[in-house]
Amino acid sequence: MILLLRALVRVLAFLLLTVLSLAGLAVALASAGGGSGDFSLPGLLRLVHAPEARDEVRQLLAAVEANGPVARDSALGGAAAVLAGVLILVGTLTPRRERLVTLQHHADGDLLARRRPLAQLTTALVEQAREIRGARTRVRPRRRRPGARLRIRADRAKRRSPDDVRAAVTRELAPIDGDWPLRTRIRTRVTKGVE
């Protein structure tokens, strides 16, 4: 159901962007076309009460229509704007790829894990130690090789030494540390109010 809703939202967003861009194109073409309506260039100048800007706009439009460096720069600017719009549409519609942690690499296949469940597993293991009052883990997968970097922040009581807490974290991570290439960095923090 969620996948269907996501697809529907993407299609509706694409349709709304398309309608908006076509409406903007229609207004731009009507403005450049001349005439005496509200969407014509003289009509827009009347609406903003800027008759003195009419001559400057006329000179600019004449320079854009003529051959030369101004026309070339205008064409390049328009092409760059269209390219930027296409890139924004592609970036909006392309799904974001989740970075997975490769834990083991075999000829039969790879053992992969998502970052959040691996962080939750590590946090649950670390919090089993008596020396630790709480923990938080961040997982960063390696790009080329199997494994990940774990940044563990362990909360401790004031009477516990940081070395004891680090040893306890290392001891609790022993079941997964030997099988998977995980590099851990442990920081400790004194929890206020806990003795």
Spell out the domains of the chain, with CATH numbers in brackets: 2-93 (no CATH), 101-190 (3.30.70.1350)
**Listed residue (115, 126, 110, 111) closest to 148, CA to CA:** 115
How high is the pLDDT of residue 18? 93
Q: What is the mean pLDDT of residues 160-173?
A: 83
Q: pLDDT: is 53 or 179 the higher one?
A: 179
What is the token pair recorded at 30?
A: 């009507």
Please determine, for residue 139, whether its predicted confidence score (pLDDT) is greater than 80.
yes
Percentage of the residues of the chain whose pLDDT score is greater than 90: 5
Q: What pLDDT, on a 0 to 100 scale, did the predictor assign at position 130?
A: 80
Higher pLDDT, 119 or 162: 119
pLDDT of residue 165: 82
Check: pTM over 0.75? Answer yes or no.
no
Burial class from Cβ neighbours inside 10 Å (0-12, 13-18, 19+) for residue 100 reads middle
Please check the confidence at residue 19 and state whether its pLDDT lies above 80.
yes
Residue 119 identity: A
Residue 21's pLDDT band (cuts 50, 70, 90): very high
- Residue 53 pLDDT: 66
Half-sphere exposure at residue 19, Cβ-oriented, CA atoms within 13 angstroms: 6
pLDDT of 192 higher than 80 = no
Q: In this model, does residue 85 exceed pLDDT 70?
A: yes
Predicted pLDDT at 133: 81
- Give the CA distances from residue 24 to residues 18, 21, 90, 102, 167, in Å, rounded to whole numbers and listed in that order: 10, 5, 20, 47, 64
